[in-house]
Amino acid sequence: METLALAEPSASLSVWALFWQAGWIVKLVMIGLLGASIWTWAIIIDKIIAYGRMRLALNRFEQTFWSGQSLEELYRTLSERNTTGMGSIFVAAMREWKKSFEKGARAPLGLQTRIDKAMDLALTREMERLEGRLGFLATIGSAAPFIGLFGTVVGIMTSFQAIAGSKSTSLAVVAPGIAEALLATAIGLLAAIPAVVAYNKLSSDAGKLAVRMEGFADEFSAILSRQIDEKVAQRA
């Protein structure tokens, strides 16, 4: 364990001064936690923007889909774009549909199953995009307080070693060392609290978006199922 010179009673208790007075282990802990906090906020802002865009995309697609536009025309329009959300699910289902009917083949018995699997895969990819990096928030939310506590324990042990060496227990002598150790815990909480709150909120938002996409997939599956039945009856 490293041993530091005991802080002077007049040592500054500002955050910046406490950081520079801390030992190298505590400094590494603080720097790591500050980096994690910055990355956490970057993820939070990115996800808020991404979820907002996804909601707008879902609203636009639902408005277009239920406007009465033909499925073929909508498919031609969307297949030429980089679609997301319901658009990706729709394109995946229509692509599987067209593979079976464009060559004039009779409706295969397993077409409905293949369409459902294609939509499930598209939905899974969309959810992976929505939930990507949320695991980092959960990790920071659970681990950051303990990492900060580790820095605090190291700092306090170093302070007590210095106190033992000086044989002085004056509060003015002890305070700076204890303060710089506790700063690590404070930074840990600074990183953990936003991460936990954001993870819960963003996970809830992702779940709501997933429910909307799953609902569309079920409705579109029913629509295609009826059309498959009609084509089978026409070709019987």
CB 145 within 8 A of CB 170: no
Instruction: State both tokens at 26.
Output: 């505590």
Determine the straight-line distance between the first and last CA of the chain, rounded to whole angstroms.
84
- Per-residue pLDDT tens, the chain, 236 aa: give them: 444 444 444 445 677 777 777 778 888 999 999 999 999 999 999 999 999 999 999 999 999 999 888 888 999 899 888 888 999 999 999 998 888 766 555 556 678 888 999 999 999 999 999 999 999 999 999 999 999 999 888 888 877 776 776 666 666 566 666 777 788 899 999 999 999 999 999 999 999 999 999 999 999 999 988 888 777 677 66
Whether 73 and 94 have beta carbons less than 8 Å apart is answered as: no
> Would you say 130 and 209 are in contact if contact means Cβ atoms under 8 Å apart?
yes
In what helix (H) or strand (E) does residue 68 lie, and over which residues does it extend? none
Domain edges within the chain: 25-70+132-235
pTM of the model: 0.82
d(CA 236, CA 231): 8
Q: How far, in Å, CA of 207 to CA of 201, rounded?
A: 10
